[in-house]
Amino acid sequence: MSSVVAPDGTRLAYVEVGTGPRLVCVPGGPGRASAYLEDLGGLSEERTLVRLDTRATGHSEVPADPSSLRFDRLAADVEALRVHLDKDRIDLLGHSAGCLVAQAWAAAHPDRVRSLVLVTPTDRLQGGRRSDVGAIRETRSEEPWYAEAAEAQAALADAPPAQQQSLVRATRPFFYGRWDERTQAHAATADRQSSKRAELGFGAGMEAVDLAGMQESLAALDVPVLVVGGERDALTGVASVDLVAGSFARAQTAVLARAGHFPWVDEPEQFRAVVSAFLATV
């Protein structure tokens, strides 16, 4: 475990896993410690994964200013890490909500981007509505866990805060391409890896963010981008893949068969092959 001090004095933790050229990794959640990224399905065998715990998560400090937890301000921490690593440009991977941070950083520092890998991204920046998530969930209706998960999902919108965590636990099979011992073990780590403070701060005050200006900067970005989705991703969906890719001039997409929201867990070999092949061309 190593650390870097952000410009506002907040100490941020990161860990380097593997060997080879560095790939900086921003976790999602929002507000989840980076440990859930693991070794990204064995990608660490050829890349050094620099897994950043965003502020108020994992081993990183809670900032004095809560507004610094907003997604666009987290981009400054990515830049601080780049400077700390003494790299002129970096390859950056974001997962889920972490893709918002990755895009905010790329928009603010286009000359520092070598490549972007956006894995099962939220389409919130692009104004998407996860339009296909319901249909994807329905494809799992014959599985034994479905009835309980669907009931919990329906109850979430009106549930009091005290009940929400248990309901979310019941919906977790929707996050994966399969629901077996491996995926259940991965899902079980979420409770101890998640920070409610970081989650709530991530989108707070989002109306003040210049989303249109951010998209304009991304459209002008002249770097290779890979957007990865999972065909069974019933959290952010598959439609988001093309929508997010459309923000970039040089984006390619890959939707992995049988994978859900955590494709390196569901289909590690397929995930590793796709990302590795892309990075080899950069």
Note whether residue 187 is domain-resident.
no
What's the pLDDT score for residue 74? Answer: 97
Backbone phi and psi for residue 159, each to the nearest 5 degrees, phi listed first? -75, 140
Note whether residue 173 is domain-resident. no
Q: What is the mean pLDDT of each run of 10 residues along the chain (282 residues)?
A: 95 97 97 98 97 98 96 97 98 98 98 98 92 95 97 91 90 97 97 94 92 95 98 96 96 98 98 97 93
The C-alpha angle 249, 214, 32, rounded to 5 degrees, equals 100
- Contact call for residues 267 and 257 (beta carbons, < 8 A): yes
* Residue 111, phi then psi, degrees to nearest 5: -80, -5
Q: Is residue 149 part of a domain?
A: no
Rounded distance between C-alpha atoms, residue 160 and residue 282, angstroms: 48
Number of domains observed in the structure of the chain: 1
Residue 89: the pLDDT is 98
Neighbours of 3 (CB within 10 A): 15
Give CA–CA dist 165/157, Å, rounded: 12
Residue 184 domain flag:
no
- The pTM (predicted TM-score) of the whole model is 0.96
Q: CATH number of the domain that 269 lies in?
A: 3.40.50.1820
Q: What is the pLDDT of residue 251?
A: 98
In a domain, 150, yes or no: no
Question: Based on C-alpha coordinates, what's the Rg of the chain?
Answer: 18
C-alpha distances in Å from residue 202, one per residue of 70, 123, 124, 190, 196: 4, 15, 12, 17, 10
Structure tokens at 182: 């491996």
- Residue 196, Cβ density class (10 Å: 0-12 exposed, 13-18 middle, ≥19 buried): exposed
pLDDT given for residue 56 in this prediction? 98
Does the residue 69 lie in any domain?
Answer: yes
Can you give the pLDDT at residue 51? 98
The whole-number pLDDT of residue 150 equals 96
**What residue numbers bound the domain in which 84 lies?**
2-139+194-280
**Residue 162: its pLDDT value, please?**
83
DSSP 102: H
At 157 the pLDDT is 85
On whether residue 274 sits in a domain, the answer given is yes
What separation in angstroms does the CA of 226 have from each of 20, 218, 248, 276? 20, 14, 10, 11
Query: Does residue 180 form part of some domain?
Result: no
